[in-house]
C-alpha cells in the first residue's frame, strides 16, 4: 500500500484545490458531513476568517453568514468582549483536569435563566450531552425504552441514529451502518406533531418508557415547531406514565429566547417545564461546550453521587467556559432578544415578500435568532408540520436558490433540511442586501422554472 503524495501547502489556494487536497487526508474532505455540500452540489467554501456577520473564504470572497457555526455565533464572529475573555483564559491555562470557578459560574448562569434546571453538568459536545441525558433518564426511571421523533437530531450516539419503522410504533431501523439493530431495539420513532400516535404508544407500552426526547423547535428538519397541543399532551402522558420529558435545546437553547424554547412553550402552557434539558452551541459561544441539566433529584443519579456514569477529560474546559460566559453576559443584556428577533423576522418577511413578488410558492418562520424557509409545492400551502412534508418540498428549487445566493455573497445552510441563524451583528443593511439578492435570484428562478402548480 502506498499513500498518495500530499501536495505542498501553498500560501493562497482556491476552494477547489483545498477541497481536492482535503479529500486525500480527510474522508470526504470534511470533518462533519453537511460541510461537503453533498445535498446542494458544488465546491464547499474553505473559510479563512470571519468578523461580525461576515466570513471570507480562501479566495477572499466575502459572505453574509447565516449559519453562524450552526448556531453558536449569536453575537457574530469575533465579538471584542468574548475575544478578550478567551485570550485572558488562554493565558491562565488551557486545561487542568480539575475544577475551576468559571464552571460554577457558567452552571449558575444557566440555572438562573432556565427555571426547570436546578443542576447542570458541562460536557464538550451536544452529542455527548444528548447521549448522557438518555442514560440519565434510563438510570433515573429504571426503564429502557425511549421515544424520539422522525426528523429530530440529537447527536450521533448509536441509540439515537434511528429512523421510523414501517408500522405504527414499531421499533426503528438504524440509519447508520455500524449500529446493530439490537442497539436501537429500545428506541421508538414516532411522527412529529402526531398526538394520536404517541397516545397509542403510551397506552401500549407506557410503563416501559424512560423518556420522550424532542427538539421542541426542530432545526434539523429545517424549522418545524412542535405544536402547543403536542407538547402539552406529551407532558401529560409523561406525568401519567412516569416517563421523563427531555427537551433537546442544543440548537434552540439561548437562541430562540433567553429562557430557551421551553420558555416559549411556557407562554402558552402555564407552568410548563421539561424534566431534562440539553444544551450546546450558544452556551459555548463557538467553543466545544455543551450541558445537560434537570432537577437536583434527577441529577443526583449521576456519578460521583449516583450510579449513572459520565465523565470527560475536557469537560468544563477553562477556555471554553470563558467563551461561553462572555457570550452569556452579552445575551442576557436587556432587549437583546427583542432586537435579534425583530431582525430575524425582518429577514424572513423580506424573503417572503421577494418570493411573492416573483410568484414562487414560499413559506418561512422564525423564533428569536433562528429561522427556516421552504419552497412549497403550491401557493397557499402552510408551514410543514413533520419530516415527510419537509422532504417533499422543492429540493431542486432550494438548491438553485442556495447557489444563486452563494454566488451573490450570501451563505445559507447547504441543505433544505437545515435551519438558519441570524446574529446580533447582522445589520439592517445586511438584511436588505440579502433580501435584494434573494429578489434577484427568485426573479430568475421564476422566469426559468415557472411554478406549474
Ligand atoms: C447540533 C445538535 C446536536 C449535536 O451537537 P454536537 O455538538 O454537534 O454534537 C444535538 N441536538 C441538536 C438539536 C442539535 O442541533
The tens-digit pLDDT sequence of the chain (453 residues) is: 455 566 555 556 899 999 999 999 999 999 999 999 999 999 999 999 999 999 999 999 999 999 999 999 999 999 999 999 999 999 999 999 999 999 999 999 999 999 999 999 999 999 999 999 999 999 999 999 999 999 999 999 999 999 876 554 456 788 899 999 999 999 999 999 999 999 999 999 999 999 999 999 999 999 999 999 999 999 999 999 999 999 999 999 999 999 999 999 999 999 999 999 999 999 999 999 999 999 999 999 999 999 999 999 999 999 999 999 999 999 999 999 999 999 999 999 999 999 999 999 999 999 999 999 999 999 999 999 999 999 999 999 999 999 999 999 999 999 999 999 999 999 999 999 999 999 999 999 999 987 755
Atom 11, ligand 1: residue with shortest CA distance? 154
Say how far apart CA 204 and CA 242 lie, in whole Å: 14
pLDDT at 12: 66
CA of 410 relative to ligand 1 center, distance in Å = 24
Q: How far is the CA of 314 from the centre of ligand 1 (A)?
A: 18
Is 153 considered catalytic here?
Answer: yes
Question: What pLDDT score does 334 carry?
Answer: 97
Domains of the chain listed by start with CATH number = 15-65+334-448 (3.90.1150.10), 80-331 (3.40.640.10)
CA distances from 226 to 43, 190, 317, 380, 383 (A): 34, 13, 33, 21, 12
DSSP readout, 97-157? SS--HHHHHHHHHHHHH-TT-SEEEEES-HHHHHHHHHHHHHHHHT--EEEEETT----S-
Ligand 1 atom nearest residue 215's Cα: 13
238 is written with which cell numbers?
409523561
Q: Which of 394-397's residues contact partners 24+ apart within 8 Å by CB, and which partners?
A: 394/361, 396/449, 397/360, 397/445, 397/449
Q: Is ligand 1 within 6 A of the CB of residue 155?
A: yes
Cα-Cα-Cα-Cα torsion 83, 85, 91, 93, nearest 10 degrees, comes to -120
- Catalytic site residue from 54, 63, 153, 265: 153
* Whether the CB of 248 sits within 6 Å of ligand 1: yes
The neighbour count for residue 129, using CB atoms within 10 Å, is 31
> What are the DSSP calls for 238-301, one per residue?
HHHHTPEEEEE-TTTBTTTBTTHHHHHHHHHSTT---SEEEE-GGGGBTBS-EEEEE-HHHHTT
Q: Which of 66, 148, 281, 430 is catalytic?
A: 281
The pLDDT value recorded for residue 412 is 98
Measured distance CA(293)–CA(128) in Å, rounded: 13
Is the shortest distance between the CB of 249 and ligand 1 below 6 Å? no
pLDDT confidence of residue 1: 47
DSSP 8-state secondary structure symbol assigned to residue 393: S
- pLDDT score of 450: 78
Examine the residue annotation and report whether 281 is marked as an active-site residue of this protein.
yes
For 352, residues 6+ apart whose C-beta sits below 8 A from its C-beta are 362, 363, 364, 373
Compute how many other C-beta atoms are within 10 angstroms of the C-beta atom of residue 213.
Answer: 25
pLDDT at res. 3: 55
**Residue 214 three-state SS:** strand
Joined grid coordinates for residue 7? 501536495
pTM: predicted TM-score of the whole model, two decimal places = 0.95
pLDDT at residue number 172: 72
Neighbours of 38 (CB within 10 A): 14
The secondary element (H helix, E strand) that includes residue 342 is helix 336-358
Phi then psi for residue 253, to 5 deg, are -60, 125
Question: Does the CB atom of residue 417 touch ligand 1 within 6 A?
Answer: no
DSSP 235: H
Which three-class secondary structure string do you get for 293-326? Answer: EECHHHHCCECCCCCECCCCCCCCCHHHHHHHHH
265 is catalytic: no
Identify the residue whose C-alpha is closest to ligand 1 atom 8: 126
Determine which residue's CA is closest to atom 6 belonging to ligand 1.
126
- Map grid coordinates 429502557 to a residue: 144
Residue 245: predicted pLDDT: 99
**Maximum separation of any 2 CA atoms in the chain, in Å:** 65
Q: Is 361 in the pocket of ligand 1 (CB under 6 A)?
A: no
Q: What is the 3-state secondary structure (H, E, C) of 85-102?
A: HHHHHHHHCCCCCCCCHH
Cell of 419: 435551519
* Cα-to-centroid distance, 197 and ligand 1 (Å): 26
Amino acid at each position: 500500500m502506498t499513500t498518495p503524495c500530499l501536495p505542498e501547502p501553498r500560501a493562497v489556494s482556491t476552494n477547489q484545490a483545498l477541497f481536492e487536497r482535503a479529500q486525500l487526508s480527510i474522508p470526504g474532505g470534511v470533518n462533519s458531513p453537511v460541510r461537503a455540500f453533498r445535498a446542494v452540489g458544488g465546491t464547499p467554501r474553505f473559510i479563512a476568517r470571519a468578523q461580525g456577520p461576515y466570513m471570507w473564504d480562501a479566495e477572499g470572497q466575502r459572505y453574509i453568514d447565516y449559519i453562524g457555526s450552526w448556531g453558536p455565533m449569536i453575537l457574530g464572529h469575533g465579538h471584542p468582549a468574548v475575544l478578550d475573555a478567551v485570550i485572558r483564559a488562554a493565558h491562565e491555562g488551557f486545561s487542568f483536569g480539575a475544577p475551576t470557578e468559571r464552571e460554577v459560574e457558567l452552571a449558575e448562569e444557566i440555572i438562573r435563566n432556565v427555571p426547570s434546571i436546578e443542576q447542570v453538568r458541562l460536557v464538550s459536545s451536544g452529542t455527548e450531552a444528548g447521549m448522557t441525558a438518555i442514560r440519565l433518564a434510563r438510570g433515573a426511571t429504571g426503564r429502557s425504552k425511549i421515544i424520539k421523533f422522525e426528523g429530530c437530531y440529537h447527536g450521533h450516539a448509536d441509540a439515537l441514529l434511528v429512523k421510523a419503522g414501517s408500522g405504527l410504533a414499531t421499533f426503528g431501523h438504524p440509519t447508520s451502518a455500524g449500529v446493530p439493530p439490537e442497539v436501537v431495539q429500545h428506541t421508538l420513532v414516532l411522527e412529529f406533531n402526531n398526538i394520536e400516535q404517541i397516545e397509542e404508544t403510551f397506552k401500549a407500552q407506557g410503563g416501559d418508557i424512560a423518556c420522550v426526547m424532542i427538539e421542541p423547535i426542530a432545526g434539523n428538519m429545517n424549522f418545524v415547531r412542535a405544536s402547543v397541543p403536542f407538547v402539552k399532551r406529551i407532558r401529560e402522558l409523561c406525568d401519567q406514565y412516569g416517563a421523563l420529558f427531555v427537551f433537546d435545546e442544543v440548537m434552540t437553547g439561548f437562541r430562540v429566547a433567553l429562557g430557551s424554547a421551553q420558555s416559549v412553550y411556557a407562554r402558552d402552557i402555564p407552568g410548563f417545564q421539561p424534566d431534562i434539558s440539553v444544551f450546546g452551541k450558544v452556551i459555548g459561544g463557538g467553543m466545544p461546550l455543551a450541558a445537560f441539566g434537570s432537577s437536583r433529584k434527577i441529577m443526583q443519579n449521576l456519578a460521583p453521587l449516583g450510579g449513572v456514569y459520565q465523565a470527560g477529560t475536557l469537560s468544563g474546559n477553562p477556555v471554553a467556559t470563558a467563551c461561553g460566559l462572555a457570550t452569556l453576559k452579552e445575551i442576557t443584556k436587556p432587549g437583546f432578544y427583542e432586537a435579534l428577533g425583530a431582525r430575524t423576522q425582518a429577514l424572513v418577511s423580506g424573503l417572503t415578500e421577494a418570493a411573492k413578488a416573483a410568484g414562487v410558492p414560499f413559506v418561512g418562520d422564525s423564533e428569536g435568532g433562528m429561522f427556516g424557509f421552504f419552497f412549497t409545492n403550491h401557493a397557499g400551502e402552510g408551514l410543514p408540520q413533520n419530516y415527510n412534508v419537509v422532504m417533499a418540498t422543492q429540493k431542486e428549487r432550494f438548491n438553485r436558490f442556495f447557489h444563486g445566493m452563494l454566488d451573490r455573497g450570501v451563505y445559507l445552510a447547504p441543505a433544505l433540511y437545515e435551519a438558519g441563524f441570524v446574529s446580533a451583528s447582522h445589520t439592517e443593511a445586511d438584511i436588505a442586501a440579502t433580501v435584494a439578492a434573494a429578489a434577484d435570484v427568485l426573479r430568475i428562478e421564476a422566469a426559468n422554472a415557472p411554478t406549474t402548480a
